[in-house]
Structure 1
């Protein structure tokens, strides 16, 4: 008989000791390694492409190969412009429903042996196995024992490589190919863990968008230099024309502002705002996918263009009204929203003026 002592109260523990508002909103965070294991084929393909972009700092060139004629090459990192004729690394990225096993790699090893023997490429400096489910213990042990890995490759050649390397010809491990394999340095075969892949991915502009967690802290914007740069010439010319319209005189350069204190202070504020927007542009380049900042500029443009094209007493009033309107554009649909300041929205108006998308002195005024 079951006694009362066998029965325990239902007492769930608090999540990691305590719950938070974030848990209530989105649930328990799923570790990135676990999320990768549930990627669809398309998501895995996209993820590895994104991750491969992090390798560009390690190599002269990084290229992706695929299809039935990949010759055992998936992602190649070249150390020189010699490509496959020089030193290079190979990354073989597999998506399976299980951790990578020895039986999954014999044909891949066979391809590297065979095609390097054929002269399609020199043997890679390193050949890294990567798998969406990680590297299994049995394979990891083999990869750390090159001599045993070579012996097992020979042992499994007929089963996996004889008819598996290419569908057009049977490849027997005899003669020159056997000699090539015997001389081949099997220490080139190794692996990259999912933790290492995620670490590399975290250095790309795709990481925050794919995994969340927010953007890194944004550096302070650069202080505008005393003398404007060439990059500022167009929006500053537009400002001078707008100020001149307000003052009823032609302003040839910024030194003409020295006798107009209020206008000079406004000019200095507009330059600060431009540099805020430029710093956000640079921040976006390093943290979010290409086109994200352009999308923000477009959103600001559409939020202010009607105000800009309204009738205004002077070009100065037009600029002031447009910049004020930019402050009210939320931009909540943009991935940069958590890093945007009011000065950025205002400064984007001057970036748009730099490109003549916003005009303070329309010709029909």
Structure 2
């Protein structure tokens, strides 16, 4: 025996910062790795989100085809009003427990060739294979070499394609169709990687909800403009009524508040808060699923409505007590909590006043 026993030394520092979330939930699995674990149903949901939020930005119209008569089209993105007879891209979405192999998609090559040859539609500008594990080495090699891909399609036509295009007839590769295949542009075929798919998905409002990892940084909101915008009129009117209730004097215009510096400062802060909350609304629209911001508003409403309905000396006091209650609320479930601040909550109170859900004066 030539070996020797050695003590087990302490491992070197990993370089990864320890956080409470990391200790509680473990390491974050990158989105592209999560795709590899998807069963058919979550994959279908992901494709739906990806097509809706990502592809619709790129095309005049996006449509999903289904059923036995799809003619080799899964998701089509149309560049112009001519749709299938114009400029369009095809996305063929597949789910297998392995990376795509040529044997998985020979029929798909045949369908796009046959139906474009038959004038059912024009040749797509691009044809993308979309699968959670992407294209395997053999298929990727073919997709990167259009000449070789053409040769392999022709070589595999009789065995794998002739009877797989349609259930109503066999499509032999001869005469005009053979000439069409030989002239066909096979460089239109590509495969999307999981990294590309999740990269597209990252800019959608449902990315964090699906893959976790936290919300993106929130941009700095714009300051309140010097003039009152039409969209502010209702909550501003409610505030002026509250100030009038407090001073027992008419307050018909914000400029009148200069007589009361304390109220004027309060008014300026409330407008800043309103615009902060509006910026949060826009951020939520782009970063979290629809309805998340409205749920945040409802949480605040539910938390302050009893304070709002209680007896107060005047409307101004009610405003102060309600906004104080909003800032003190313990909201834990809504994902916007991670990027909101006390001023947002004041602003939400005024958004609610803008909708007449809250009123400061009787």
TM category (shorter chain) comes to over 0.9
Shift of 1:143: 0.7
Aligned partner of 1:50 in structure 2 is 49
Partners of 1:132 and 1:12 in 2: how far apart?
39
Query: Structure 2: where are the runs of 5+ without partners?
Result: none
Partners of 2:110 and 2:5 in 1: how far apart?
59
Aligned partner of 1:86 in structure 2 is 86
Shift of 1:231: 0.9
Aligned partner of 2:338 in structure 1 is 338
Q: Secondary structure at the match of 1:219?
A: coil
Q: Secondary structure at the match of 2:328?
A: coil
Shift of 1:268: 0.7
- Higher mean C-alpha deviation, range 168-177 or range 183-192: 168-177
1:12/1:143 CA distance change after superposition, 3 Å: farther
Residue 206 of structure 2 is aligned to residue 215 of structure 1: no
Aligned partner of 1:99 in structure 2 is 99
Aligned partner of 1:194 in structure 2 is 194
Aligned partner of 1:248 in structure 2 is 248
Partners of 2:227 and 2:67 in 1: how far apart?
55
Shift of 1:66: 2.8
1:8/1:165 CA distance change after superposition, 3 Å: farther
| Post-superposition CA distance 1:155-204 (Å, at most 9, x none) | 22233322322223333333443333232211111122111112111122
Shift of 1:220: 1.5
Partners of 1:143 and 1:152 in 2: how far apart?
11
Partners of 1:63 and 1:335 in 2: how far apart?
31
1:184/1:297 CA distance change after superposition, 3 Å: same
Partners of 2:118 and 2:273 in 1: how far apart?
61
Shift of 1:11: 6.3
Query: Structure 1: where are the runs of 5+ without partners?
Result: none
8 A Cα contact 2:74 2:90, kept in partner: yes
1:310/1:168 CA distance change after superposition, 3 Å: farther
Partners of 1:29 and 1:137 in 2: how far apart?
28
Shift of 1:18: 5.5
Equivalenced residue count is: 360
Partners of 2:46 and 2:14 in 1: how far apart?
29
Shift of 1:45: 1.3
1:104/1:208 CA distance change after superposition, 3 Å: same
8 A Cα contact 2:162 2:171, kept in partner: yes
Shift of 1:59: 2.4
1:20 counterpart (13, 18, 22): 18
User: Counterparts in 2 of 1:46-195, with a 5 A limit?
Assistant: 46-52=45-51, 53-195=53-195
Q: Secondary structure at the match of 1:5?
A: coil
RMSD (Å), alpha carbons? 2.1
Residue 341 of structure 2 is aligned to residue 313 of structure 1: no
8 A Cα contact 1:329 1:345, kept in partner: no
8 A Cα contact 1:273 1:344, kept in partner: yes
Shift of 1:116: 1.4
Q: TM-score, normalised by structure 1?
A: 0.92
1:16/1:29 CA distance change after superposition, 3 Å: farther
| Post-superposition CA distance 1:285-316 (Å, at most 9, x none) | 12112221111111111111121122222222
Aligned partner of 1:272 in structure 2 is 272
Aligned partner of 2:295 in structure 1 is 295
Shift of 1:348: 0.3
Aligned partner of 1:327 in structure 2 is 327
Partners of 1:17 and 1:277 in 2: how far apart?
38
Q: TM-score, normalised by structure 2?
A: 0.92
Aligned partner of 1:5 in structure 2 is 3
Shift of 1:15: 7.5
Shift of 1:357: 1.4
Residue 262 of structure 2 is aligned to residue 227 of structure 1: no
Shift of 1:115: 1.7
Aligned partner of 2:35 in structure 1 is 36
- Higher mean C-alpha deviation, range 54-63 or range 39-48: 54-63
Shift of 1:13: 4.5
8 A Cα contact 1:304 1:325, kept in partner: yes
Partners of 2:13 and 2:63 in 1: how far apart?
44
